[in-house]
Amino acid sequence: MISDVRSNFRPGKSLAVIVQATPQHAAAIHAIENEAFSDPWSKSSILYEINEPGSVFLVAVNENQNAIGYASMRHVLDEGHISNIAVSASYKNQGVGSLLMESLVNEARRLKITALTLEVRESNKAAISLYKKYGFVQKGVRRDFYSYPNEDGIVMWKEHLI
C-alpha cells in the first residue's frame, strides 16, 4: 500500500499526495488521459486497470483531493511495465511527474520487482528526460508503435532495482 508521500511542488501553496487510485478517481484520470494523449484509454479500461490485481495505479491529488496526475504499472513476477504517466496541463513542470515516478519506483521495490520497462514517443523529450533522471536507459525502438500520429516508441529499461 502506498504511504502518505508528499512533495512541495508549488512552494507555499499546496502539497500533492500520492494515493492508490480507486474507482472514484476514474473520471478525473480519464479527463487527464484525454488531455495528455492523442489515443487515450477509455474510462472502462482505466477502471479495469485500477481493479486489476497485477496492476499498480497511483494518483496524485492536490489539497482539495482533486486528481492532478496519475501513473500505472503492471507487474508479472519480478518485472514491471509502466503503462502511463500523465499530469494535468495546469500542473506540468511542478514536480508532479517526478513524484509519481519516484512513487512507482518505490512501489516496484516494495513488490520485489527487479526491472522496469516502458515505451515513450520518440518526440516526448520531457518524458524521456524524466525517465533518464530515474535511471532508465534506451534499449530499443518499436517502429510505428504509436498511432495518431504514427510514431516510433523508444523502449527504456531500469534494471537492478533491488
pLDDT of residue 15: 65
Active-site residue flag, 119: yes
Active-site residue flag, 131: yes
Closest among 144, 100, 129, 135 to 117, alpha carbons compared: 135
pLDDT of residue 7: 47
What is d(CA 127, CA 133) in angstroms, rounded to the nearest whole number?
Answer: 10
What is d(CA 116, CA 151) in angstroms, rounded to the nearest whole number?
Answer: 22
pLDDT of residue 10: 47
pLDDT of residue 162: 86
For the chain, which ranges sit under pLDDT 70?
A: 1-15
Closest among 138, 104, 106, 105 to 124, alpha carbons compared: 138
pLDDT of residue 147: 92
Catalytic residue among 119, 122, 151, 159: 119
Q: How far is CA 135 from CA 60, 70, 96, 102, in A?
A: 22, 20, 18, 11
Cell of 113: 520487482
Catalytic residue among 131, 146, 151, 159: 131
pTM above 0.85, yes or no: yes
Closest among 127, 16, 121, 128 to 66, alpha carbons compared: 16
Q: How far is CA 106 from CA 2, 90, 144, in A?
A: 9, 26, 31
What is the DSSP pairing of strand 151-159 with strand 115-121?
antiparallel
